Chains A and B, each alone.
With several copies, the nearest count.
Chain A
């Protein structure tokens, strides 16, 4: 069974979604993960866009969370203020799984989506937090999607937009942030988790065919790869759901 690393990322994320989850997703591969889960093992999960569309049918994939395609056959519409509050609301927050992307991540899972300092060529501005810092600050589970590249997995962020485990240990709690830091970083080559206690990033799974040494070389900071195992390849059924139901037009998978 052939599959791309993008498909593997989507399926690894989809597997983390449970039937009672409220999935806060963006566009691109994060919405594919949500749709794949909903069409497969988690039909009861609710897909929620930060723009306020609750559980739309997603017959046509949105190219932005503001795309009118998130409105079609939604079950409810909320304002932005109402929607983001579900991340904090004590009843809903514990069901939330947030899927985030960023330009940079550090060893504690802190994220930068605001700006990159490119030395001489100056600042490269990025779009800013959007809902990322809200998701990362709140209770519930957070999954990060990142391409595994040295310029992305950095020793020091140029700007800390979204809190991970902050400086590790219990610093997150000490800053008064509700709930835990990210649980998984899903990349195109493997999956990272955060060690109990220190909250430093460790390699948890490498995708079939990847070398652990190569993965570690793609991270600027030291990363423990000792306890990593090979990830399960996507099953035929998972791939069929992803390709035929979630993105039949190949808008995102191509």
Chain B
């Protein structure tokens, strides 16, 4: 490969090229960790609307997108921010007001849906949810499912194990349909110009979300040299041929954590909880902090209000900050 095969984009360029209103998009990360926040803010800035959003267990990215009115439907296992917001705040309001439709799956089912998409199979078998409302209640009715060919015609299907021995009681499995988003956006620690991506620490469902997608944007703390990754292929979670755009965005997961780089910002997350609690104050936040800034550097500057990000920087041994105050 040579530099003509480079996939490096600006963030604004990557979002405008690959994400459009009505798309089915998927966000990586988990609750307060490695949400692709810079990309989320840029989607809001570019006024993308009507998104069909897949997340595993998200988190700040989901909540800001929903709060900004960019989302019409969500499929997820969990929508919370740990102790900072046991249920995502704008998300809760949007559910109450009927502004979004939500289809609920379990953690394992959602992980398997991304895995199915990444494997190029139409479904995978799960062992959870028999007898529950996850199996019996539908967030999307028939009309919604018929309205968009990218949504499978059923939420889940139950079947008996065809390999059961004659006379034995067959295991009952719950088939989950594959997810193949139009675009997956993740934030990682390192990537090279061809898209080979290193995720340090837990990978969550990011690798599967990436492989399942038609187009992929990886934002990362650092774009590194191709040679540096060839010294440690074992740490590369995603092959380059799965990736369409690589964007260097330092602090691109802020205010969520990025292992070995920085921690989540408990001060911001507490402030966010109060701000997001009312539609008016949240709207001020979106206008002032997202539309009112041109890019992620400006957003960071405004958010940290001159305090600087140094308190968040990861301790080299622990991989998170040992200086933040986490007790509220």
Contacts and interface: CB of A to CB of B under 8 A. Distances in A.
**Is A bound to B?**
yes
Interface of A: 19, 22, 27-28, 43-44, 46, 50-55, 57, 59-60, 62-81, 84-85, 87-93, 95, 110, 114-115, 122-134, 137-138, 159-163, 166, 171-172, 175-178, 249-251, 254
Nearest to A127: B80
Contacts of B83: 27-28, 63-64
A134 B86 contact: no
B128 A138 contact: yes
A140 to B, nearest CB: 11
Contacts of A57: 230
* Listed residue (B130, B202, B237, B319) with the most chain A CB atoms within 10 angstroms of its CB: B202
A234 to B, nearest CB: 23
Nearest to A53: B202
Contacts of A166: 131
A128 B230 contact: no
B16 interface: no
Contacts of A72: 318-320
B163 interface: no
B96 A131 contact: no
Given A64-B83, A160-B132, A129 B106 contact: yes
B208 A79 contact: yes
17 contacts: A27-B82, A27-B83, A44-B5, A54-B236, A66-B202, A67-B32, A69-B318, A75-B239, A81-B114, A95-B241, A114-B134, A125-B79, A127-B86, A131-B107, A133-B106, A138-B127, A159-B137
B213 A91 contact: yes
A51 B204 contact: yes
B107 A84 contact: yes
B140 interface: no
Q: DSSP majority for the A interface? A: loop
Contacts of B230: 57, 73-75
B82 A129 contact: no
Given A75-B229, A163-B132, A81 B202 contact: no
Given A67-B82, A251-B327, A89 B120 contact: yes
A200 B29 CA distance: 39
Contacts of B95: 115, 123, 125
A78 B82 contact: no
B65 interface: no
Given A43-B2, A124-B96, A125-B96, A161 B318 contact: no
Contact of A88 (B92, B121, B236): B121
Nearest to A21: B241
Interface of B: 1-2, 4-5, 29-33, 56-57, 59, 76-84, 86-88, 91-92, 95-96, 102, 104-109, 111-112, 114-115, 118-121, 127-134, 137, 171-172, 180, 194, 196, 201-205, 207-208, 211-214, 226, 229-231, 233-234, 236-242, 257, 259, 263-264, 314, 318-320, 322, 326-327
A137 B327 CA distance: 34
B111 A84 contact: yes
A52 B204 contact: yes
Nearest to B173: A176
A138 B105 CA distance: 16
Contacts of A71: 201-202, 233, 259, 319
Contacts of A127: 78-80, 86-88
A35 to B, nearest CB: 14
Closest 5 CB pairs of A and B: A64-B82, A88-B120, A176-B172, A127-B80, A84-B108
B4 to A, nearest CB: 8
B236 A75 contact: yes
A251 B96 CA distance: 32
Contacts of B84: 63-64
Contacts of A85: 108, 118-120, 211
A114 B78 CA distance: 9
A133 B233 contact: no
Contacts of B33: 64, 66-68
A43 B1 CA distance: 5
Among A22, A57, A80, A161, chain B packs the most CB atoms within 10 A around the CB of A80
A80 B205 contact: yes
Contacts of A55: 239-240
Contact of A64 (B31, B127, B172, B322): B31
B241 A81 contact: no
A80 B132 CA distance: 22
A76 B86 contact: no
Contact of B233 (A54, A68, A114): A54
